[in-house]
Each structure stands twice: as C-alpha cells, then as structure tokens.
Amino acid sequence: MYEWLKVLHIISLISWFAGLFYLPRLFVYHVENINKDESVEIFKKMEHKLLKVIMNPAMIATWIFGLSLVHYVGLSKWLILKIFFVVLLSIYHMYLSRIRKNLESGINKYSSKFLRYLNEVPTILLIIIVILVVIKPF
C-alpha cells in the first residue's frame, strides 16, 4: 500500500505544480490584454477551469496521499519542515485563487511584472521541498 500511496502522491503533486506554474502565467497574459474584452473572457474561463478542475482537486489529493504516507514513515524533523513548506505552498495556492477572483470581477491591482515574479514562488518552494525529501538533512 505504501508504494501506491507514494505513486498517487507524486502524480497529484505533479498535477498541482503544473497548475501552480501555469496559473500565474495566465494572469500575466490576462493583465497584459486587459483592454481586449474577448481575450479577457477567454483568460477568465481558462483560469477558472484550471483552478477548479485541476489545481484544487490535485492539491487536496496531494495532502490526502501525503498525510497518508506519514502513517508509514512517521514524523521526523525533515518531514515537519517539508509540511511547513507545503503549508506555505497551499497559502500561495489560496492567494492565486483570490487574484483569480479579483481579475474575474474586473479588479486589477497587479502589474504583469509583479505577476511574473509571483510565478517564481512555486519553483523556489519546489526546490526546497525536493531537497528535504531526497537529502533528509535532519
């Protein structure tokens, strides 16, 4: 059972990260085309479907399978630190959701430059999490 949980955890986290990498990029295009009504409507639909159909279920599955794995491996210092960074990733996910809602409502307080920088957050967290999982420094 442990191996299957690990497989499902990896598949769900890859799906989640695909969305975490892509959604801010959609925001950049959305903001850069804010005066083109037809384009904005397309981005709104893409952002909504990406978040609701792919990212939210993938995040939930990642948490479920990841916490299920704790039963087999137990808590250790590196794992507690990893969970901390996954909590930060989940907060980032919720922040993206709020940005999407604002953009959908026509509230744009974000520059494309800010959104490009925001797009780097999951990369940094991914690097930290992978190092913790592979190296297990504690």
Question: Please, which residues have CB within 8 angstroms of residue 39's CB and are 6 or more apart in sequence?
Answer: 29, 30, 33
The gap between the terminal CA atoms of the chain, to the nearest Å, is 26
> What is the band of 138 on the pLDDT scale with cuts at 50, 70, 90?
confident
pTM of the model: 0.94
Q: From CA 124, how far away is CA 126, in angstroms rounded?
A: 5
pLDDT of 136 higher than 90: yes
